[in-house]
Amino acid sequence: MNAYATDAHHDDDHHHGPPPGLMRWVTTTNHKDIGTLYLWFSLIMFFIGGVMALVIRTELFQPGLQVVDPHFFNQMTTLHALIMIFGVVMPAFVGLANWMLPMMVGAPDMALPRMNNWSFWILPFGFAMMLATLFMEGGGPAAGWTIYPPLSLQTGNALPYLIFSIHLLGVSSIMGAINIIATIMNLRAPGMTYMKMPLFVWTWFITAYLLIAVMPVLAGAVTMLLTDKFFGTSFFDAAGGGDPVMFQHIFWFFGHPEVYILILPSFGLVSEIIPTFSRKKLFGYNSMVYATASIALLSFIVWAHHMFTVGMPLAGEMFFMFTTMLIAVPTGVKVFNWVSTMWQGAMTFETPMLFALGFVIMFTIGGFSGLMLAMTPIDFQYHDTYFVVAHFHYVLVPGAIFGIIGGVYYWLPKWTGNMYDEKLGQAHFWLSTIFVNILFFPMHFVGLAGMPRRIPDYAVQFTDFNQVATIGAFGFGLSQILFLVLVIKCIRGGKKADDQVWEGAQGLEWTVSSPPPYHTFSPQPVIK
């Protein structure tokens, strides 16, 4: 059990691999196994959430109601969001952290391996509960992923299932985050000071603190919904002295740090990939760390920009507008640093680099539309329109997701020992990039023209752009099958990868063999 202690005493007798059979995956405490589980889980959920998105886009291909009834449409929008946030992006980040953090800081494993197993295995049960509501009388949750009362309190039996599944997902990610913090603080190799840590480690370190600070607030908010509905409390019921607007404040106190939880690790991934393929050191390492920390701190004082239209006083609107715009400064520092890293570098454009470049360009587009939304007077026009949908999909899909996919391509040869099919990877990148823009760019226009979000029907003048978006959606969805094929091909075989894999790659993870042994760094390396 305690590989850490036994290895120190009698070194070489214990280099065994994993136990055979399926139980390996259930009982494993190995960070690489758990990372693999997280990543596969995330990929499966990506396809489930993607099918829901395609149901939405199919219905929106034409005005009027043709494919699904409005109540089911609302369930699709709600569950698509919950799955993509809690089931895809967050588990993918935790999976990458599990695989790479110990190898990047020179640790033998995560600090709390058994809790690691637990935090993964809670997830399938949480999502089984959430998805089971689709097959119940009354259907799944349909009040939007933000579950605003009083509407969400009219949900039928799905509400308690949703709330308990959010509790489970929260417990899982809090345990994952504590594990990551403990690993980084206690298990770094001798000589690896905080300011020598790779940026992926740094961004995760900060993200983990965000997670343990705000996931419990969400848990509190949904617990209040639960007691309001079933136990006679009146947190959000005006008749009993409560206030539905208060839910929005509590929810977005969680929700805004949450959106940085969804992007900061991708910043880290891109900060690993770009220097490798530019064959230069990352420009402005220190400022990257400080920028990440400032973004995280600012995220706690900007939440009400999600609710400019609830009737806040002018002073409040000004405060939240200016603090929100302030976030553009550290974010701009990061974009500047990525571009400066590439400046005069000997760049090559393998698939991970393509995804990182796509990230920098398209995330910046999403960032700019975010700045537009940050301006209070303009937000009154854009609030709850497709412009908002376009904004957050730009930062999440070609932002967070492209970062994750880039990271997977970057480390896939290390994990499997085989090079992936570069041609297929390039095809995957170009198809994804073209279709993601066909999918989301027209949403800016229909949003500016006033098409509200979360509706199954729309005015006829929006038809053309919606049809373009739907075509883009199917193109993007089908392109992801290439990714699945590529990953399976790479696991099964291919050109052998050497330990270094990429010419310009720096860091401890490239000093071990590809694939790495089941237990790495049992005697920890010393960093000079």
Of 53 and 97, which has the nearer Cβ to another protein? 97
Q: How far is the CB of 182 from another protein (least distance, A)?
A: 5
Of these residues, 4, 118, 145, 209, which one is catalytic?
A: 145
Q: Using CB under 8 A, which of the segments 51-59, 217-225, 398-406, 468-476 binds another protein?
A: 217-225
Annotated catalytic residue 334: yes
Q: Contact with another protein (CB under 8 A): which of 156, 452, 507, 515?
A: 156
Of 183 and 479, which has the nearer Cβ to another protein? 183
Q: How far is the CB of 126 from another protein (least distance, A)?
A: 17
Structure tokens at 515: 């694939």
Of these residues, 155, 324, 331, 351, which one is catalytic?
A: 331
Should residue 154 be labelled a site residue for another protein when binding is judged by CB under 8 A?
yes
The whole-angstrom separation of Cα 335 and Cα 291 is: 11
Annotated catalytic residue 258: yes
Q: Contact with another protein (CB under 8 A): which of 229, 256, 444, 519?
A: 229
Of 215 and 282, which has the nearer Cβ to another protein? 215
Structure tokens at 221: 């908010």
Q: In this structure, is the dihedral angle defined by the CA atoms of residues 314, 316, 319 and 325, taken in order, positive or negative?
A: negative
Annotated catalytic residue 513: no
Should residue 238 be labelled a site residue for another protein when binding is judged by CB under 8 A?
yes
Q: In this structure, is the dihedral angle defined by the CA atoms of residues 294, 297, 301 and 303, taken in order, positive or negative?
A: positive
Of these residues, 31, 188, 306, 391, which one is catalytic?
A: 306
Of these residues, 334, 391, 414, 444, which one is catalytic?
A: 334
Instruction: Reply yes or no: is the peptide bond before residue 150 cis, omega within 30 of 0.
Output: yes
Of 65 and 185, which has the nearer Cβ to another protein? 185
Q: Contact with another protein (CB under 8 A): which of 181, 264, 446, 508?
A: 181
The whole-angstrom separation of Cα 409 and Cα 390 is: 26
Q: Count residues contacting another protein (CB under 8 A)? A: 46
Q: How far is the CB of 252 from another protein (least distance, A)?
A: 11
Among residues 120, 117, 118, which one has the least CA distance to residue 30? 117
Residues in 103-132 that interact with another protein by CB under 8 A = 111-112
Should residue 27 be labelled a site residue for another protein when binding is judged by CB under 8 A?
no
The whole-angstrom separation of Cα 410 and Cα 154 is: 46
How far is residue 497 CA from its own chain's centroid? Answer: 28
The whole-angstrom separation of Cα 111 and Cα 499 is: 25
Q: How far is the CB of 155 from another protein (least distance, A)?
A: 8
Should residue 245 be labelled a site residue for another protein when binding is judged by CB under 8 A?
yes
The answer to whether 83 and 48 have CB atoms below 8 angstroms apart is yes
Structure tokens at 156: 């039928």
The whole-angstrom separation of Cα 189 and Cα 516 is: 17
> Cα torsion at 442, 446, 451, 454 (round to 10°)?
10
Structure tokens at 92: 């993918």
Should residue 499 be labelled a site residue for another protein when binding is judged by CB under 8 A?
no
Should residue 313 be labelled a site residue for another protein when binding is judged by CB under 8 A?
yes
The answer to whether 509 and 99 have CB atoms below 8 angstroms apart is no
Should residue 243 be labelled a site residue for another protein when binding is judged by CB under 8 A?
yes
DSSP tag of 30: -
Q: How far is the CB of 296 from another protein (least distance, A)?
A: 14
The whole-angstrom separation of Cα 235 and Cα 242 is: 5
Annotated catalytic residue 249: no
The answer to whether 117 and 199 have CB atoms below 8 angstroms apart is no
H/E element, 409: helix 402-416
Q: How far is the CB of 150 from another protein (least distance, A)?
A: 8
Residues 6+ apart with CB under 8 A from 365: 394
The whole-angstrom separation of Cα 437 and Cα 57 is: 15
Annotated catalytic residue 80: yes
Of 213 and 436, which has the nearer Cβ to another protein? 213
Structure tokens at 84: 């993509």
Instruction: Report the phi/psi class of residue 21: left, alpha or beta, with left for phi > 0 and alpha for psi in -120 to 50.
Output: left
Annotated catalytic residue 173: yes
Q: How far is the CB of 322 from another protein (least distance, A)?
A: 19
The whole-angstrom separation of Cα 29 and Cα 464 is: 52
Annotated catalytic residue 260: yes
Annotated catalytic residue 305: yes
Should residue 234 be labelled a site residue for another protein when binding is judged by CB under 8 A?
yes
Q: How far is the CB of 76 from another protein (least distance, A)?
A: 20
* Helix, strand, or coil (residue 103): helix
Annotated catalytic residue 306: yes
Annotated catalytic residue 266: no
Should residue 235 be labelled a site residue for another protein when binding is judged by CB under 8 A?
yes
Q: How far is the CB of 37 from another protein (least distance, A)?
A: 23
Annotated catalytic residue 36: no
Of 247 and 386, which has the nearer Cβ to another protein? 247
The answer to whether 46 and 405 have CB atoms below 8 angstroms apart is no
Of these residues, 33, 59, 228, 258, which one is catalytic?
A: 258
Should residue 311 be labelled a site residue for another protein when binding is judged by CB under 8 A?
yes
Among residues 137, 130, 108, 84, which one has the least CA distance to residue 32? 108
Binding site for another protein (CB under 8 A): 111-112, 138, 154-157, 174, 178, 181-182, 185-186, 212-221, 224, 229-232, 234-235, 237-241, 243, 245-246, 249-250, 253-254, 311-313, 316
Q: Cite the active site residues.
A: 80, 109, 145, 172-173, 256, 258, 260, 271, 305-306, 331, 334, 453
